[in-house]
Each structure stands twice: as C-alpha cells, then as structure tokens.
Amino acid sequence: MNSFYRGSPAFIPYSNYFLHNQRLGKVYDISPGIEKQFLYQLLNTDAVRGQIKGSATGSTVRHTAPDRIYAVKVTVPPLLTQRKIAVILSAYDDLIENNLRRIKILYEMAQNLYCEWFVKFRFPGHQNARFIDSPLGRIPEGWEVTTIGNVTSYISRGLSPRYEDSSISVVINQKCIRGHKLDLGFARRHSSRIAPEKYLHFGDILINSTGIGTLGRVAQVYTALSDTTVDTHVSIVRPQSSEDIDYLGLALMDMESHFDLLGAGATGQTELRKDRISETEIILPPLDLRNGFSSMVAPIRRLGISLLAKNTTLRRTRDLLLPRLISGEVDVSELDITVPDVAEA
C-alpha cells in the first residue's frame, strides 16, 4: 500500500522482504509513505512483535515467512507525525547508545589499569622493585602466589529455581553475564527456598560454569542487590575481604579464557567445577598496593554502573512511551518538533 491514514489499520508497509540463511529477514525498498526510523520503532512494539511471533509455526524450531509478515496489521499516522515520533524515540536511543560508548570506555579503563599494574607490573614504584621467580613466572619481591580458594570465603553453584513471575525473589542465569557486565534484564523471578549464603553480596564474582560458548564468562556484583541469587549454571565466588573486591573482580575477569579451559565433561555438558576454581593459582600483591588500586579504579567502576542504571531507566521509559506514541494515545501532531524537511504524505 502506498497511502496510510492516521488511526486506520493497514498491512505492515514492506515493499520487499527476504530471508538470510533462514533465520534473519531484511526489509528494503520501503514505501515512500513510511519513515524508516518510524518503521524500526513500529517493529519493536509488542503489538507487532506479538503478531509476528503468533505467525510462527514449527514444533522444534519456530519460524515464520515473508507472506505472514506482510499480513501483520498496523496503525500508521501521516508521514510528518511518523517523523516526529521517530525523533522523540530516537532521542532515547541516542542517549542509550552514548551511555553504552561511555560504559565501554570506563570498563576498558578499569581493565587496562589492572593489566598495567598487575600483569605488566608497571605499578607505582615499580622502578625500584626486585623480581623473583614464582610458580607463575617472575613477580615483584613481596608479592605472593596463592589460590583463589585462599582469598575467598565462599565458592558455590546456585540453586535450581522454581520460576514464578509474581515472586519478588530474583535468580540470575548465564544470559545475564556477558562482556564483564551483569544484565538483570535476563534474570527471572522464582519462589525457591534460598540458603542464606546463596544470597548475593556486593563484590561477589559470578562465573558461568556450564556448557560450551558461555563457560567461563565473568561478571561482578557491583551494586546492592536485594533477594537475589544465581541458578546452578553459575558459580558464586565471594572475596574474603572487602579490600579485595576490586582487585579480585578484575583479576578473575582477566582469567575468562583460563576458566573456559578448565571445563570438563561430555560435549555440550561441559562443567566448571568449584574445586577447579578454588585451586586456580593467582598472584596476590601487597595489601597497600591493592588498596591503592581500589581507590583509583572504584570511582571508574561506580560511574559505569551508574550509567548502566540510567540506561535501564531510559529503556523502560522509552518502552512505555513507544506503544502510546504509535497508537496515537499520546498525540504529537501539534507539537513543535524539528524534523527533516518533508511534505506531509
């Protein structure tokens, strides 16, 4: 269809659509009566996604087809209104993207500082340090080689959850741990009984411990969490001292590939056992150096966590606003919003 009217139902406005390797679709040659950014936002509404999901068939692998997507019905306002909606929603997306770039830089700063001090040994005063042999190679005199088990108070898998959406208790799974960050957007509610020691503490280090592809991923709890635990596919590693939270957190993040190699078991059922985590050797610098490192890196990490929280709020606000704008419940047609110079369709 080439013409659409505000508030009236129409078929989803694709001109062409095809599939890539059976799992990915591409929309192109979009109708001149449709703003591309508006279409992008439209496809992200629950109404449209629900129709596409509902069109899927198949028992083992659910899939849909172009003709079923063509048949999805939507409400499309005039072009100028589409562009205003796109400007409003894109502003949220731009803020989120800008925060993501800042978060990436902050995480890289923290990890680079760790590597500079404790891998390359260019810590404050390194010019005067003497180096000695150790099981992990040459290290500065006064440093020691110990095990993760010796510097932690608790290492354990989580629980087998009984999922219940109405519960206030949260369980973290392997999807929540990626890129050294903890994303609670993938966490679920559950009603299982929790042993007190399995409640997550600030500073707990979480390691994905089951399966190929996700095994060994590390993230750290760096904000206060209430009534939250992990499932059996994730290991909790709890620093023995609050003074070691930053050093151990970044040290274990730097060991992701090592934890991946520690996995054992049949293909597809690879497990990272807690004894293998506990027995892993680690370099332990003097306490004053660990404290100095924490005083430098903690503000960087806190800012990254703050930006992650802001993005969560921005996404929630955008997602609440999206269907109201698309449906016309929030009318923007009379708002003075600068949009690209186009004629009203």
Which two tokens mark 302?
A: 């806190």
By residue range, what is the domain housing residue 209?
144-283
pLDDT of residue 3: 33
d(CA 120, CA 139): 10
Question: Residue 118: what pLDDT?
Answer: 97
The predicted structure's pLDDT at residue 5: 33
pLDDT at 102: 96
- pTM for this predicted structure: 0.80
User: Could you tell me which residues come within 8 angstroms of residue 83 by beta carbon, excluding any fewer than 6 positions away?
Assistant: 35, 37, 38, 339, 340, 342
Q: How far apart are alpha carbons 20 and 157 in whole angstroms?
A: 39
Examine residue 333 and state whether it is found in any structural domain, yes or no. Answer: no
pLDDT tens over the chain, length 345 residues: 333 333 444 555 545 555 555 567 676 656 777 888 888 888 887 777 788 788 878 767 777 777 777 777 777 888 888 888 889 999 999 999 999 999 999 999 999 999 999 999 999 999 999 999 999 999 999 999 999 999 999 999 999 999 999 999 999 999 999 999 998 889 999 999 999 999 999 999 999 999 888 899 999 999 999 999 999 999 999 999 999 999 999 999 999 999 999 988 866 678 999 999 999 999 999 999 999 999 999 999 999 999 998 998 999 999 898 888 888 888 887 788 877 665 444
**Within-domain flag for 208:** yes
Number of domains in the chain: 1
| C-beta of residue 296 within 8 angstroms of C-beta of residue 246 | no
Residue 26 lies in a domain: no
- The answer as to whether 308 is a domain residue is no
Task: Report which DSSP code applies to 57.
Answer: B
Residue 55 lies in a domain: no
Residue 221: count other Cβ atoms within 10 Å of its Cβ: 21
The CATH number of the domain where 266 resides is what? 3.90.220.20
The answer to whether position 99 is within a domain reads no
* 162 belongs to a structural domain: yes
Structure tokens given for 182? 């903890």
Residue 14 lies in a domain: no
